[in-house]
Amino acid sequence: MALKFHNTLTRSLVPFTPLTAGKVHLYTCGPTVYNRVHIGNLRTFVWEDVLCRALRYLGFETVQVMNLTDIDDKTIRGAIQEGITLKEFTARHVETFFEDLATLNVSPAAHYPRATDHIPEMVEIVKKLTERGHTYESDGSIWFRIASFPSYGKLARVDLSSMQRGARVADDEYEKEDVRDFAVWKGWKEGEPESATWTTELGKGRPGWHLECSAMSMKYLGETLDIHTGAVDNIFPHHENEIAQSEGATGKEFVRYWLHAEHLIVDGEKMAKSKGNFFTVPDLLSRGHSPRAIRYLFLSVPYRQKLNFTFESLAAAASAVARLESLDLRLGERARSTGASAIEDGVEAKISSFQNEFREGLEDDLNTAAALGALFSFVREANADLESGQLSPAGAAAFQRALRGADSVLGVLPKAEAGLLDSEIQAKIDLRQAARKRRDFAAADAIRDELAALGITLEDTPAGVRWRRKS
């Protein structure tokens, strides 16, 4: 089987091939930095991380860009309320966002562009749209004229007929020709702070929210992206408007594969502060839950299904993580013990059948439930082999490599050993030398492999063993 994704654009499962062979350019809509993100937002961000990790596991290189929306109605309102500048206000929320990503072991994207650093790029897009007849000015703002873009609506397939075309309606304080038209540039309004206002060729004002993503995605990834993701509530109007702006400006296809994650609900209900079922990561940590269990729970449900968050499911996730961790520790111990130097019959076959099934799960539109099913069959087999007492150190090391390989996608095993102290590394090297002296090459090799898995390479020189950390 080859990699397939459910493309929102076609509402079908389609084979995936990137524009550039072996390299995937993807844009993942980031947070609006006006509050602490909640676990619903983080479900999407963890899924996007697993998507990137899975692509790398499957042999692709990835270039991920995630924007930070640091200028919009909400951030301006927050800055005004607190009597500080927009930048001061958003800086706090940027910080806690990155804190939450690190807590949940989300690998960093290649770029985290901020909207306020890309005003000139946005102005350029508006100018192109104007040249191509897609905009008009009204009341100091610049609007995208939906009627000028016939394929508008192709992503969302929403029923636009309920919105009456051509009716001149007031939206907020703005006048627009058509209720569906949206602002690409918002003219300055009385009361908007200096720190949230730019004076550009388009006049005094600020960019529309949708424009930010068109400008930043195309700047870092080119005019046609392989994958664009977000939560289902981004489909309309946000992503529909991104298509209109980007394709309207370039005349080229903007995104080849649109992927959208379903929502997280709590105890079967929509999360809301008023219902007392609204959680952030610090809320869960303060109740004693582990970040790795939270991450596991998020990724255990395939992204196109609603995730029902309950404390029972979080406890089940914690015990699943504990099983993986315990196997990893026991395999590590066995790998370091003395014994036969060759991997015994059957071990390789078990590993390759597991890896095939795990990969097929990922290739099936990132079916993480299927991939985890394969993983836990493998866990049962490896545990049975360990308990039989027959598993060789080399076999245990091979099992552990396979487990850690799968975890390069999941990211739920502890990274403690990656932080080995120099003295601990030296102690392991001494153990390896001792094993070599007694001609136990399997044990020596297992130690070398273990260090290699932690990014530490050994070099045997006439002056002894040298080691270095891979950067």
CB of 212 to Zn ion, least distance (A): 7
CB of 249 to Zn ion, least distance (A): 16
Q: Which of residues 198-257 bind Zn ion (CB under 5 A)?
A: 213
Closest to 304 measured CA to CA, from 107, 18, 100, 13: 13
Nearer to Zn ion, 213 or 297 (CB): 213
CB of 113 to Zn ion, least distance (A): 11
Nearer to Zn ion, 213 or 447 (CB): 213
Nearer to Zn ion, 260 or 432 (CB): 260
Answer yes or no whether residue 3 interacts with Zn ion by CB under 5 A.
no
Backbone φ and ψ of 374, nearest 5°: -65, -40
Nearer to Zn ion, 29 or 231 (CB): 29
CB of 200 to Zn ion, least distance (A): 21
Backbone φ and ψ of 112, nearest 5°: -125, 70
Torsion sign (Cα): 266, 270, 274, 279: positive
Tell me the residue type at 62: T
CB of 206 to Zn ion, least distance (A): 16
Asked if residues 39 and 294 have their Cβ atoms less than 8 Å apart, the reply is yes
Nearer to Zn ion, 29 or 244 (CB): 29
Size of residue set near Zn ion by CB under 5 A = 2
Q: How far apart, in whole angstroms, are the C-alpha atoms of residue 420 and residue 415?
A: 10
Q: Which of residues 25-44 bind Zn ion (CB under 5 A)?
A: 29
Choices 24-32, 37-45, 158-166, 317-325; region in contact with Zn ion by CB under 5 A = 24-32
Nearer to Zn ion, 213 or 321 (CB): 213
Binding mask 143-182 for Zn ion (x = CB under 5 A): ----------------------------------------
CB of 173 to Zn ion, least distance (A): 24
Length of the chain: 471
**Residues binding Zn ion (CB under 5 A):** 29, 213
